[in-house]
Homo-oligomer: A and B are copies of this chain.
Amino acid sequence: MTELSKPAYVVLGMIATGRRSGYAMSRTAKEATRHFWATSDGQIYPQLKALSDAGYITGEREAQGGRERVVYSLTDQGRAALDDWLNSGERAHYELRDEGLLRLFFAEELSVEQLRAQIEIMRRRHRRAIEHLEDLRPRAGGHACAHLTLQYGLDLHAFSIDWYDRLDAELAERPPDERAGEALEAINALVIG
């Protein structure tokens, strides 16, 4: 049995947890999983066809108040593949892409003032992320797991804000026109040493 792709497991998982039409999966992907695992429509719909053809899922046309839609179910094969993945100890993909951190990494030659401006931008970004996730909370419905992963996101951004707050407090003690590299060297010695 060959390994399935990541979007395939997303689709299988969506069906198993009650998001049974392509559209419902698309909504959940945007609203509930986007903040830790992005999945686009351009992956979902082709994947539904592929998993159908391969016998992991079956689709049935259903009239939903006049509008037609296709509602999918897992086959035994699909259920087995999902359970395998959910319980596998295989190394899970983990990746962070943070352009703000990348800027910090190259900030050596900036002034303390400029660095603090960047940090403020990053804090704002995390604050907006929290607001956004807070807005999504009512939409998590009765799904305990959706609430859980949402809470992780909220706590993660809160951690980052806190981290930058503490860094900024240290930088506030330094002269604004000092080279950021110098100021950070002194601060790092405190934090780590």
Contact = CB atoms under 8 A, between A and B. Distances in A.
Interface in A75-132: 82, 85-87, 89, 91-110, 114, 117-118, 121-122, 125, 129
Contact of A103 (B92, B96, B99, B142): B92
How many copies make up the complex?
Answer: 2
A99 B149 contact: no
A92 B87 contact: no
B99 A6 contact: yes
Q: Which of A17, A148, A160 has the most CB of B within 10 A?
A: A148
Contact residue range for chain A? Answer: 35 or more
A94 B97 contact: yes
Contacts of A10: 102
Nearest to A14: B106
| CB-based closest 4 A-B pairs | A13-B106, A92-B99, A144-B184, A93-B99
